[in-house]
Structure 1
Amino acid sequence: MRKLLVIALFSAALSACSTPDSASPSAAIRQVLATQTAAWNRGDVAGFMQGYWESDSLVFIGKRGLTYGWQPTLDNYRRNYPDAAAMGQLTFTNLRITPDGPETAHVVGRWHLARPAAGDLQGHFLLVFRRINNQWVIVADHSS
């Protein structure tokens, strides 16, 4: 009887470990990036921004320097990409996702905007992700 109880407890512990809340950081982060890509490609900047930490502590580092805060970052995206034609079609490639701990990870990759009317843009990025309130979000973005 005791052996069955130990097996039952072990089985329960294993099934608890496989819940959606414990999805691998890599898979969860890939999903965030896929959701962002889909939002961008339909011209939805606000939807794209849902992948970022909605905080004044968010930092975006780009060609024009530092931007602190979710709202200023959104404002910059809207100013630089005023419509779907300016936004183009986004792809992320060469993704390298590295967990830094149970609640943090960083991602290095390449971005490309296909914009037939305005000319293509491309570059590289380093994203810092943190798991906050059980969601993986970008807390720092260095894109060039």
Structure 2
Amino acid sequence: MKKFVILFCMVCALSAFSQTNEDTDKKAIQKVLKKQRLAWSDNNLEGFMEGYWKSDSLKFYGSNGVTYGWENTLERYQKAYPTKDHTGKLSFRINDITKISEGAYYVLGEYHLKREVGNADGIFMLVFKKINGEWKIIADTSS
């Protein structure tokens, strides 16, 4: 019985530790998204892109198909949102953040752009991965 109690306590402690780690990860991911929201709303597309993995392996999937790589994704944003009137003010609704595996999560959400050229709304799914101690978006599906 004593062994069972010790084992039970260890399982509970590990479960609590795991939950705490997930909470910490989710808060860190939300911090990345907040920085992106603020940069976008300041018409700072390069600052917005800091949340993305700076790699040729980054994937963005939108209405025009798949864009590969950080530089190409930045260029895509610059063409589609050339001025502050186009970027406007960004807001998010995060509907779910789910752990995929250790160091990886997906985020489901909605975005809203309030802007001079007409408002825009859509949905997104992001895949975050912890790379060199930082949470980065490695894949983005937005529509």
Shorter chain as normaliser: what TM range? 0.7 to 0.9
Distance in structure 2 (CA, Å) of the matches to 1:86 and 1:127 = 22
- 1:134 corresponds to: 133
Divergent runs of 4+, >4 A: none
Distance in structure 2 (CA, Å) of the matches to 1:131 and 1:142 = 19
- 1:107 corresponds to: 107
| Structure 2 residues without counterparts, runs of 5 or longer | 1-16
Per the alignment, do residues 122 and 81 of structure 1 end up closer, same or farther by CA in structure 2, a change over 3 Å counting?
A: same
TM-score by length of 1: 0.82
Give the letter for the 1:127 counterpart: L
Note the alpha carbon deviations across 1:82-138, whole angstroms, 9 max, x for none: 1111101000104311111221000000011001x2111110000000000000000
Distance in structure 2 (CA, Å) of the matches to 1:118 and 1:125 = 21
Give the letter for the 1:77 counterpart: Y
- Checking the alignment, whether the CA contact within 8 Å between 1:52 and 1:139 is kept in structure 2 is yes
- 2:118 corresponds to: 119
| Secondary structure of 2:101 counterpart | coil
Distance in structure 1 (CA, Å) of the matches to 2:96 and 2:124 = 11
TM-score by length of 2: 0.83
- 2:142 corresponds to: 143
Note the alpha carbon deviations across 1:13-35, whole angstroms, 9 max, x for none: xxxx8xxx997110010000000
- 2:65 corresponds to: 65
Note the alpha carbon deviations across 1:48-70, whole angstroms, 9 max, x for none: 00000000000000010000000
Distance in structure 2 (CA, Å) of the matches to 1:100 and 1:22 = 11
Distance in structure 2 (CA, Å) of the matches to 1:118 and 1:38 = 19
| Structure 1 residues without counterparts, runs of 5 or longer | 1-16
Number of equivalenced pairs: 124
Distance in structure 2 (CA, Å) of the matches to 1:23 and 1:58 = 25
Tell me, yes or no, if structure 1 residue 95 matches structure 2 residue 86: no
